[in-house]
Structures are given as structure tokens and as C-alpha cells.
Amino acid sequence: MTATVVYKGELRCECTHLQSGTVIGTDAPTDNRGKGEQFSPTDLLCISLSTCMITTMGIRAADMQVDLSDTKIDVTKHMLSDPRRIGKIELVAHMSPVGLDEKDQKILQIIGDNCPVIKSLHPDLKVEIEYKWK
């Protein structure tokens, strides 16, 4: 087992990662009866995508002796209705390494564009990724 999820009432959940004991709370968004005081489940999907991308890129970057520390990804989620779902995720990756040649940039981008989470998403979900290199 990976985690436990407990419904706490008032559209909130408490999620516990069993190996580490880390706890993440979720809340329904304000446009869907929640308080919007924590990540929503759909927010978590979007940040799962961005953290998977940068983590897999970080693995390859370490092999290339490139430090991706301080790379930042801006995440924008676009919801659709009928049925309510995520229609598009926009990601802008502000890449931290300076002076990386175009070939190495492309290698890292291919890794990010093919991370396990992105490969797990339904093909109807639009994902737009922009990489900004210094």
C-alpha cells in the first residue's frame, strides 16, 4: 500500500504517505462548494505532472552533471464542465541552468515531455509545456 486517504468532512481529505508519514490535506475549490484553503484533487494532478517532469529531468541532469536546483514551473489549470474535469494544463518551466547548449536542453525537454505522469494522462487532456532557458 502507498497511502491512506481519510475523508475529514466538509469536502476535505487527509492523505498520508505510508513510507514517510508525510500528510497532505485537500479541499474542494471555491467554485465547487469548498473553501479553497488547500490543494484540490485536480490541483494535485497538475502538480503531480510538474513534479514528475522536473524529477525525471533531474535524474538525467545529474547524469549530465547539470544542476536543476531553483528551476521553477508555473502551473495553470483550466477546468471544463459537463462533465467537470481538467481540460488543459499549461506549464511554463523556468530552467535554472545557465549556458547549457541546445542539444542538452533538448535532451532534458524530451525527458520532461515523456515523464510517467504525462504518459498516464488521458489523450483528451491538453498539456502545453513551455521551457524558458536562461
- Summarised one tens digit per residue, pLDDT across range 49-86 is 999 999 999 999 999 999 999 999 999 999 999 999 99
Q: Are residues 3 and 46 in the same domain?
A: no
Contact between 40 and 27 under an 8 Å Cβ cutoff? The reply is yes
The whole model's pTM is what?
A: 0.93
Three-state DSSP state, 62: helix
- Domain holding 111, by residue range, is 40-133
Count up the domains in the chain and report the number: 2
| Number of alpha helices (DSSP H) and beta strands (DSSP E) in the chain | 3, 6
User: Is residue 63 located within the same domain as residue 109?
Assistant: yes
Give pLDDT tens digits for 21-45.
999 999 999 999 999 999 999 999 9
Residues 44 and 85 in one domain: yes
Distance CA 30, CA 27 (A): 9
